[in-house]
Amino acid sequence: MKIIYVQQYFNTPDMVGGNRPYEMATRFTEAGHDVHVVTTRRDPDPGDRTVEVRRVNGFTVHLIPAAYRQTMPSWQRIRAFLTYAMRASVLARRLRGDVVFASSTPLTTAIPGMYATAFRRSPLVFEVRDLWPAIPIALGYLHNPLLRSAAVLLERLAYRRAKTIVALSPDMASEIIAQGVPPEKLVVAPNAADVGRFDVPAEAGLRFREERDWLADRPLLVYCGTLGKVNGLTYLVEIASELRELGSDAVVAIYGQGSERPATEALAETLGVHGTSVRFFDPVPKQDLPAILSAATLCTSFWIPIPVLASNSANKLFDSMAAGRPIAINHGGWQAEIIARARTGLVLPESDAPAAAREIHAWLSLPVAERQQYGERAKRIGVEEYSRDISAARVLDTLEAAVGPTFTRPEIDVAGRDT
């Protein structure tokens, strides 16, 4: 089966950012399929219009030049989305796949998905990674009423045209069904725990601590990800300041970049915790995360208090599972329900830093063996319920079912070759 995987952002493990498309494409290829990822080069030379083609892990990656940075103004980001959508439409159609798997965000990836399958027997499977346009509207990014109307229309058209919709959380699926989409059209395949990648010896974390004289045996709270408006990392800085007032020697390490990093660092300076209780670092590639999380006492994931964001499927939760580390979040929704049910971490108040700091301080005061049990439970649920293999198999079953009864899965020998 020839799978055309349309995803604007593609990262290998040696790059910074989430790598769901890489992990999915790798597993689709291992199952015997011909996979073509249609994505972007986000830092092309000015005027470069060349589509670069690479082979990665047995699949083909087509890289369209479309400059993009999270720190860009909204109008430049929209231009990048539309540039990719137009060029990906032509390329994806020319590749003539048996199925087109278009994955948002942004929502504009639906355009090449629909164009590539128009008037053809090949079906479209549309993956919803974030609730667009609900999130940018809630954040105030879509002020123009024409752009809002166009985005809502595109969303409805994508849901209608897709043979199947893959949602990254049950809450997302519920929101989509509430718009009138039949439940049988939905499949839930969350972000996943890369258990094998994070299975590092305890010595990796000990070595990480030994190499940093500012850390030693202090409790370490880790945030790895974007510092954008939706993440609200100033709240974590406020929590760090409150922890210091409580007498805690815990240190917060923030790895990431984004439009809100300057303001977050400025607050840390104002509160007198920059370089002491809070330390900032550049983002790291996925392959460097296991050592960092191995050294962590508590992972963290934050959103600003906007209800629609609680439906998200944050990589941070699943990376903590894979690493066998507890996590603290500050929102409700399905992820909070997992943490509460499995007792894998803390669900903090969404905006009350003193109360959140008290909860963390009390948790850090528990016996080490009791805190370790939180991590052990996180690892168990990651392996048994949320492993990457489980999620990828669910998506692959969906793609094969969309193609229909004419599809026969290739037989693969032990060496991974077609027979």
Q: What is the 3-state secondary structure (H, E, C) of 33-55?
A: CEEEEEEEECCCCCCCCCCEEEE
CB 105 within 8 A of CB 129: yes
**Alpha-carbon gap, residue 244 to 236, rounded angstroms:** 12
Q: Which two tokens stand for residue 409?
A: 């899965």
How much is the average pLDDT of 292-301? Answer: 98
How much is the average pLDDT of 359-373? Answer: 98
**Alpha-carbon gap, residue 419 to 416, rounded angstroms:** 9
How much is the average pLDDT of 49-75? Answer: 90
> If you classify domain 202-384 with CATH, what class do you get?
alpha beta
**Alpha-carbon gap, residue 162 to 116, rounded angstroms:** 12
* Maximum distance among all Cα pairs of the chain, rounded to whole angstroms: 66
The pLDDT value given to residue 412: 44
Domain ranges of the chain: 2-192+387-403, 202-384
Q: What is the tens place of the pLDDT at every residue in 380-415?
A: 999 999 999 999 999 999 999 999 976 555 554 433
**Alpha-carbon gap, residue 126 to 109, rounded angstroms:** 9
Higher pLDDT, 105 or 149: 149
Q: Residue 67: which pLDDT band, with cuts at 50, 70 and 90?
A: confident
The pLDDT value given to residue 143: 82
Q: Which CATH number fits domain 2-192+387-403: 3.40.47.10, 3.40.640.10, 3.40.50.2000, 3.40.50.2300?
A: 3.40.50.2000
Q: What is the tens place of the pLDDT at every residue in 324-344?
A: 999 999 999 999 999 999 999
pTM of the model: 0.92
Fold match between domain 2-192+387-403 and domain 202-384: yes
- pLDDT cut 90: percent of the chain above it: 87
**Alpha-carbon gap, residue 323 to 382, rounded angstroms:** 9
